[in-house]
Chains A and B, each alone.
Chain A
Amino acid sequence: MSESTRRGFVKNSAAAAAGMTVVGALAAEQADAKAAAKSGPVVAYIRKPGTGEISVMSGEREVKLHDRKIAARLARAARREAR
């Protein structure tokens, strides 16, 4: 395989892989949305946003999630609303 052909192959493969990732992410998002549509209300509680610990409650269940990004985004949103 010539260099130019190889470069093209790599480029095309990368694009295909990226496309597959996007398609995969979209599919996962749709599946999540479907699952979310079936669930009841969800309550999230962040006692200390800096720790990234989120208590997610639905029905009688409660799970602990560690996600600094989501916690920070929600804290930022709360500050915006507070202004």
Chain B
Amino acid sequence: MSSHREAPAISKDPVADNTDLYAFVSPDDPGTVTIISNYLPLEAPYGGPNFFEFGPDVRYRINIDTNGDGDADIIYEFAFETQVANPNSFLYNSGPILSIDSANWNRKQFYSVTRTSRGHRQVLGTGLACPPCNIGPLSTPDYDMLASEAIHSLPGGRTVFAGQRAEGFYVDLGSIFDLGNLRPFENLHATFGLPALSAAVGVNGTDNFSVHSIALKVPISDLTRHGSTPTNVSSPDAVVGVWASASRQAATVREPWSDYVQEAGEWLQVSRLGNPLFNEVLVGMGYKDLWNSLPPSADNRFAAGVQHPELATLLPVLYPGVFPNLAKLSAPRADLVAILLTGLPAGVVPGFQNFTGSTLADMLRLNLAIPPSSKPNILGLIGGDPAGFPNGRRVFDDVVTVELRAIAGVTYPLVNSSYTPDVAAGEITDGLTPASLNLPFLNSFPYLGTPQGGYQTAPLGTV
């Protein structure tokens, strides 16, 4: 998945598992940028009685690189605390939760937001309330109202929300993880000698699941090196790198016959996320946990996985005869290095650049001078829409298709005009679009949809 359960260690620590990251110029407020960082993969909405929540023992961060060195120049940090009103009750709520401060809600979460820039630390807000999880018509009868009460204004024209949202990342998990099968093309799959399959429509494996989102909307000038609001697309100052992370303290000590847990030491990163699917697809199994512990500035050591992606060698094997040109392509994939690790320099795509320099660093790169698109294309830049992925990432961008096609060779002509991509490279997809989502996106902050209530959710069925 984008980055859900993408590495062995973090798959066992969902509360710190960074699942998706979005960064885009807010379409309904174009003087601002919205950054959304998701955690807690695949929340089943009925997962009580201890419903999902952020970790008070985790530090969540949104990191901004303003000078292209792959290290954070601006950090927004989020620290959570949980308050239990009645420890003698096993109930999450003892009656309908009609407002975010309801006395019926037994287990509330609050958080602080701190911005650090070049050593200057500013607390932007404390005691900010999260909404409850969406439980059902008796417990959370007006969930949208509860969520709206959890949107907080911060000083400096900033806005924040932290809480449960509908999963917006659409992907056919069941199919892709079954040996690279893509249902719309499974009639062409090698099937390893097993009976042939018939092409089928994609199935959204994340449908109706929820995540926990930290959404932050800030003025564009909050993210730039000199506090400016760039208007020149070609200016290096217009591009920032964005990644999210989660950290835990170095030591955890437990005591026998006790619920006492002591944590101590520095905060050490256990999860990070820039471009979707980077650690998932381009980093080997034995190195994924290490990758999660490092800053983007250390990504040079993972460049080989980008230059020679394993998936690019598998596609011609899994789909015999479908990718003949890709099968012959053995040169390092400078196109993927540019898209994922340096940004695209000026002159590659007319009128566009999101280049941050020669440092190889996995970050979402956002050119802040590019306004939101009036006619967005879910394929972003390869669909002719420079306001979309890989220029940042919007909630509806079809990053699975974009990255599949890029790895299949559709972007290689950007660096070698003599290469002709296979026809299939421009058509490959898992067959999903935002229309595949049962829970739609919102047109305004926090943009990710209303999470499904537990009562309203049926257990998983079969295809």
Contact = CB atoms under 8 A, between A and B. Distances in A.
B348 interface: no
Interface string A58-79: 1111100000000000000000
B114 interface: no
Q: Give the one of B253, B262, B265, B267 with max A CB within 10 A.
A: B265
Contacts of B266: 57, 60-62
A59 B253 CA distance: 13
A62 B263 CA distance: 12
B267 A60 contact: yes
Main secondary structure, interface of B, reads strand
B265 A41 contact: no
A59 B250 CA distance: 10
Contacts of A43: 251, 253, 262, 264-265
A48 B253 CA distance: 19
B229 interface: no
Interface residues of A, number: 11
B325 interface: no
A47 to B, nearest CB: 11
B249 interface: yes
A59 B261 CA distance: 13
B107 to A, nearest CB: 25
Interface in A24-83: 41-43, 45, 55, 57-62
Q: Give the one of B251, B262, B264, B267 with max A CB within 10 A.
A: B264
A62 B266 CA distance: 6
Contacts, number: 32
Contacts of B250: 45, 55, 57, 62
A58 B262 CA distance: 10
Given A60-B266, A61-B266, 5 more contacts: A43-B253, A43-B262, A57-B264, A59-B264, A60-B267
A63 to B, nearest CB: 10
Nearest to B267: A60
B267 A57 contact: no
Contacts of B265: 43, 55, 57, 60-62
B262 A41 contact: yes
16 contacts: A41-B253, A41-B262, A43-B262, A43-B264, A43-B265, A55-B250, A57-B249, A57-B250, A57-B251, A57-B264, A58-B264, A60-B266, A60-B267, A62-B264, A62-B265, A62-B266
Contacts of B249: 57, 60
A43 B253 CA distance: 8
Interface string B349-381: 000000000000000000000000000000000
A57 B267 CA distance: 11
A61 B249 CA distance: 10
Interface in B331-355: none
